[in-house]
A and B are shown apart, each in its own frame.
Chain A
């Protein structure tokens, strides 16, 4: 969104409280959604639950095309549509709900830096594994991405998406990396997150922030998504404090519906 549109949305957002019928759209959970989209969606859901904002999750096959920026997930609140975690955090802040207000400037700088680390390393690694590793592409990504569509539309869309992601990987210099190097990058990123988390319950001590939501989204999806090999999940599992962090957030915010 351009800056003027963003300012306008914030102004309109501030006018009304959070409605009961807010919905979050994502691709079909069982058949279609891929690892990176699942991670982003879980991150947003975790964030909204941490803010105690009710939202309904709706699965649609064309969610990616409905989204204003082309990225999943997006939320429909009242008559506004906002996509991706960053803008959603700003949107909820305009409505008066924020998790990071109590942080001082240096801590907020750290939080933003760590969020960029997750985006830069984990998200890019997930995209690489999904779309640049031939085995995963053939076995998982193409079938899942093209599942709602009939032949040949599914194949065309899947190839188009793959080509787009590969272009992006080449532009940022990941095109030449091998799978081993990508796993090593993920390992380093998890090591950094693990060292930052230490023995604290959340990254900024007692209160969860959007950083916790983002990290949870990515780690949870990596741990629970079936890929061609378990290598990625194994790298994450080797950091026990990250595992207990995920379990803690899952129990606190996600298991109330089953009880």
Chain B
């Protein structure tokens, strides 16, 4: 086995913003994994270079080999003995594969839609950001290229032939994504990471998918508001950012465990839902005609007493 660990690894990815080391999901997955596994990788953002359109981001260069796609890059790093999954049992490794498949099938279409297809978000956030990070004249090409790829991916995987129309699948992909976020929240419970006390590749994937959704300043936010209600997921992202991406310490001690009962959390979610329902019912009741008789007779004596001037 050649001592390739000494060879420098360079990662090409999209640049940082919104408090995250990268705004691009796949780049973020790889960056998180490099931190978790302790690999030293020079990060070269492709912003303002021609690589924005020629390269398949993220890309790992090590010696002569070029590896693309997050799953392949993670495999490559494991072979270089940077393995964050070392302590997992076989069953946990199988669970990792299953949850990653869940993320890809259920969450990715909705994320692509939120960032690249939703007209408000695309026009106000995504396109300006990517156009501002691409050199002239690519700033006209790069965002629309990504948007086309995103739209065709959503339609081909979720659209029902022969009527490939985005409006028909929108409802379905968002409800799938919300369910996926709920499932992740159940699985995470009150733990810091998905498997024990140290983060693994599943944590990297979840971080890569969830963090941009949490931190981006999206104008149109049904999915983001749903995510923000799942406090353990937002806390998970903040933990990872504070522990591995804050600029002072390379590998800090494990964060303090909060003793929040998982059942209490579920109960809180249920109570929130119930109180929302009750509020809605209350609103409906107040606007119904029978209710008006109650409020139409203010006590004349009191108001008269308040407004009477002292003689």
Contacts and interface: CB of A to CB of B under 8 A. Distances in A.
A112 interface: yes
B187 A106 contact: yes
Interface of B: 69, 90-91, 93-95, 97-99, 101-102, 104-106, 149, 152-153, 156-157, 160-162, 168, 171-172, 175, 179, 183-184, 186-187, 189, 266
A110 B161 contact: no
A69 interface: yes
A69 B160 contact: yes
A3 interface: yes
A195 B184 contact: no
Contact of B93 (A112, A192, A193, A198): A192
Contacts of B99: 113
Given A2-B168, A114-B98, A116-B106, A195 B189 contact: no
Interface string A101-133: 000011011101110110111000000000000
Q: Which 4 A-B pairs have the closest CB atoms?
A: A192-B94, A109-B183, A113-B98, A117-B101
A29 interface: no
A167 B155 CA distance: 11
B106 A196 contact: no
Give the interface centre of B69, B101, B184 by most chain A CB atoms within 10 Å.
B101
A193 B187 contact: no
A188 interface: yes
24 contacts: A3-B172, A69-B160, A70-B160, A70-B161, A70-B162, A105-B266, A106-B186, A108-B183, A109-B187, A110-B187, A112-B183, A113-B98, A116-B98, A117-B97, A117-B102, A164-B161, A171-B156, A171-B157, A173-B69, A188-B97, A192-B94, A195-B90, A195-B91, A198-B91
Contact of B153 (A110, A172, A193): A172
Contacts of B106: 116
Contact of B94 (A106, A120, A193): A193
A191 interface: yes
Nearest to B97: A192
Given A112-B183, A192-B93, 16 more contacts: A2-B168, A2-B171, A2-B172, A70-B160, A108-B183, A113-B102, A116-B98, A120-B101, A167-B156, A171-B152, A171-B153, A171-B156, A171-B157, A188-B97, A192-B97, A193-B94
Contacts of A105: 186, 266
A168 interface: yes
A2 B149 CA distance: 24
Contacts of B189: 106
A196 B184 CA distance: 19
Contacts of A195: 90-91, 93-94
A113 B171 CA distance: 21
A198 B91 CA distance: 9
Contacts of A113: 95, 98-99, 101-102, 183
Give the interface centre of B102, B152, B162, B266 by most chain A CB atoms within 10 Å.
B102
A110 B98 contact: yes
Nearest to A6: B172
A172 to B, nearest CB: 6
B92 to A, nearest CB: 9
A120 B105 contact: yes
Contacts of A94: none
Nearest to A64: B161
A3 B187 contact: no
Contact of A116 (B101, B162, B168, B171): B101
A121 B168 CA distance: 26
Given A3-B175, A164-B161, A117 B98 contact: yes
A189 interface: yes
A80 B256 CA distance: 54
A109 B186 contact: yes
Nearest to A83: B160
A29 to B, nearest CB: 23
B186 A120 contact: no
A140 B162 CA distance: 25
